[in-house]
């Protein structure tokens, strides 16, 4: 406020000195005043102009100092509790006033073991990862798909994992920092696979298998290669074909080559193969 008043006063003095210099110049031209009188008026104008410039600098410095009293957030987000009360002494570059957390977009950090990375075909990065989806703590899938924005260039020797990070839009603020979620990554080469209920996949010393009913209603034990789970279903990577009738009930009564009378509730008809990418 004081600097602004000083600037206005100096501005008035400049206007007055300018008017006096003009008047003395006209009078000098008509030989009504001496050269010395005009020189004094001209010098007063120069002094007033210099004082005005100094006042401008002081006003600019005052405005800069005033701007320091307002802390502007570099990103949109939500602040935590204030760490200092009003009137407390703080020092520049050492006192943290509060913590600002960016909510949208939000980053999700996760990792894959060395063996899991090998199943994907090698190092994961932004080029070979097709999509990233998030599974919320309640088991539901987040409605928006994420995008990989960081992948470590090497395997962590202490943990044996590759660190990755994905970004998700979170305008609804449904996801909060520090929250635990699961991530499903889609990558690798596409292939035709099938989904069958988990109860239909059995395990023996030779590996996993399912019971399939052939055209003669005879039970056939079919070895399969199983992938990951999706909900209550198991992804079958190899061993099944479209149209196969997979038994999903009363398996304990079955033996290979046994003729059965299949009922709708006992079988699972494969008719819609899904284009599947390696999923974790």
Question: Residue 147 above 90 pLDDT?
Answer: yes
CA distance 54 to 219: 99
Cβ neighbours of residue 98 closer than 8 Å, sequence gap 6 or more: 79, 80, 81, 82, 83
Per residue in 85-104, pLDDT (tens digit) is 888 888 877 888 888 888 88
CA distance 9 to 37: 24
Question: Check: CATH 3.40.50.720 for 191-279?
Answer: no
CATH, domain 2-67, list 1.10.287, 3.40.50, 1.10.3470, 2.70.98: 1.10.287
Instruction: Give the domain 101-180 fold.
Output: Elongation Factor Tu (Ef-tu); domain 3 (2.40.30)
Per residue in 45-66, pLDDT (tens digit) is 888 888 888 888 888 888 888 8
- Cβ atoms of 165 and 111 within 8 Å: the answer is no
Helix, strand, coil abundance in the chain, percent, nearest 5: 25, 35, 40
Comparing 2-67 with 191-279, is the CATH topology the same? no
- Cβ atoms of 115 and 274 within 8 Å: the answer is no
Question: Residue 280 above 90 pLDDT?
Answer: no
Using left for φ > 0, alpha for ψ between -120 and 50, and beta otherwise, residue 248 falls in alpha
Residue 58: exposed, middle, or buried by beta-carbon count in 10 A (0-12, 13-18, 19+)?
middle
Averaged pLDDT of the chain:
82
**Cα dihedral sign for 235, 110, 169, 189?**
negative
Residue 161's SS3 state is: strand
Domain boundaries, the chain: 2-67, 101-180, 191-279
pTM equals 0.50
Task: Give the least confident one: 5-19, 140-154, 189-203, 263-277.
Answer: 263-277
Per residue in 168-204, pLDDT (tens digit) is 999 888 888 889 999 988 886 666 778 888 888 998 8
Q: Given pLDDT bands bounded at 50, 70 and 90, which one contains residue 106?
A: very high
pLDDT at 261: 78
């Amino acid at each position: 406020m004081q600097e602004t008043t000083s600037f206005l006063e100096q501005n008035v003095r400049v206007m007055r000195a300018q008017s006096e210099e003009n008047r003395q110049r006209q009078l000098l031209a008509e030989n009504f005043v001496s050269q010395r009188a005009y020189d004094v008026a001209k010098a007063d104008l120069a002094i007033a102009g210099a004082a005005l410039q100094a006042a401008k600098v002081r006003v600019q410095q005052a405005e800069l100092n005033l701007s320091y009293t307002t802390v502007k957030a570099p990103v949109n987000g939500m602040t935590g509790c204030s760490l200092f009360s009003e009137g407390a002494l703080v020092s520049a570059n050492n006192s943290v006033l509060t913590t600002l957390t960016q909510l949208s977009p939000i980053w999700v950090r996760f990792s894959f073991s060395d063996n899991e990375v090998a199943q994907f075909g090698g190092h994961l990065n932004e080029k070979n990862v097709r999509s990233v989806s998030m599974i919320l703590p309640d088991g539901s899938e987040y409605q928006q798909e994420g995008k990989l924005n960081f992948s470590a260039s090497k395997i962590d020797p202490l943990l044996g994992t590759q660190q990755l990070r994905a970004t998700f839009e979170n305008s609804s603020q449904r996801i909060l920092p520090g929250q635990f979620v699961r991530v499903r990554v889609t990558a690798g080469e596409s292939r035709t696979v099938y989904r069958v209920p988990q109860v239909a996949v059995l395990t023996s010393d030779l590996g996993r298998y399912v019971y399939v009913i052939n055209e003669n209603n005879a039970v056939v034990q079919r070895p399969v290669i199983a992938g990951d789970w999706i909900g209550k279903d198991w992804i079958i990577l190899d061993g099944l074909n479209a149209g196969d009738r997979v038994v999903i009930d009363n398996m304990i009564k079955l033996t290979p080559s046994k003729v059965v009378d299949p009922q709708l509730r006992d079988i699972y008809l494969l008719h819609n193969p899904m284009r599947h990418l390696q999923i974790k």
